């Protein structure tokens, strides 16, 4: 089987503010990445970043409001994955999220998701108001 699987795969969903529903969506992306022979470590990192971002959108962005939705777009090709998640919250400034690695913040909950996402993904971009994150993962050279 060759490594070229044709055009990119894309899914778009609008879901209620429910982390369980949001978590189920990533399974299709992980399956598509596996079919395109992405390394296991990349699969793990993409799923981890997705889970963090969807929880942030539902809990922090939409504040679990039943009348709000989250928009999810996922694209996968042989060498690149893009995930865009947008909530209906007021947004935030990612530059103002304190670094949870500071000694004074080690015991404080919160702030770890933004750091984790930036560590495991190749690129992370937020829109101007901070209610949309675009995460990009470039396929690793290693099959780790």
pLDDT in tens, 55-111: 999 999 999 999 999 999 999 999 999 999 999 999 998 888 766 555 554 455 566
Supply the CATH number for residue 132's domain.
3.30.565.10
State how many domains the chain has. 1
Question: At 128, is the secondary structure helix, strand, or coil?
Answer: coil
Q: Is the pLDDT of residue 121 over 50?
A: yes
Residue 143 belongs to some domain of the structure: no
Q: pLDDT tens digit string along 128-144?
A: 999 999 999 999 865 44
Residue 3 belongs to some domain of the structure: no
Residue 1 belongs to some domain of the structure: no
Residue 144 belongs to some domain of the structure: no
Selected residue with higher pLDDT from 89 and 21: 89
Domain residues for 43? 9-138
Beta-carbon contacts of residue 115 (< 8 Å; ≥ 6 apart): 97, 99, 100, 101
Instruction: Give ∠ CA 79-14-139 in degrees, rounded to 5.
Output: 10
């Amino acid at each position: 089987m060759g490594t070229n699987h044709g055009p990119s795969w894309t899914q778009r969903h609008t879901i209620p503010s429910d982390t369980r529903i949001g978590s189920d969506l990533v399974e299709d992306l992980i399956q598509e990445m596996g079919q395109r022979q992405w390394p296991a470590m990349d699969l793990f990192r993409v799923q981890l970043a997705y889970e963090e971002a969807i929880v942030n959108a539902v809990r922090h962005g939409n504040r679990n409001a039943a009348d709000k939705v989250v928009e999810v777009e996922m694209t996968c090709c042989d060498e690149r994955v893009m995930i865009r998640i947008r909530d209906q919250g007021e947004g935030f400034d990612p530059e103002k999220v304190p670094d949870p690695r500071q000694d004074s913040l080690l015991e404080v909950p919160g702030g770890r998701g933004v750091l984790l996402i930036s560590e495991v993904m190749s690129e992370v971009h937020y829109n101007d108001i901070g209610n949309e994150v675009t995460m990009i993962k470039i396929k690793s050279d290693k099959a780790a």
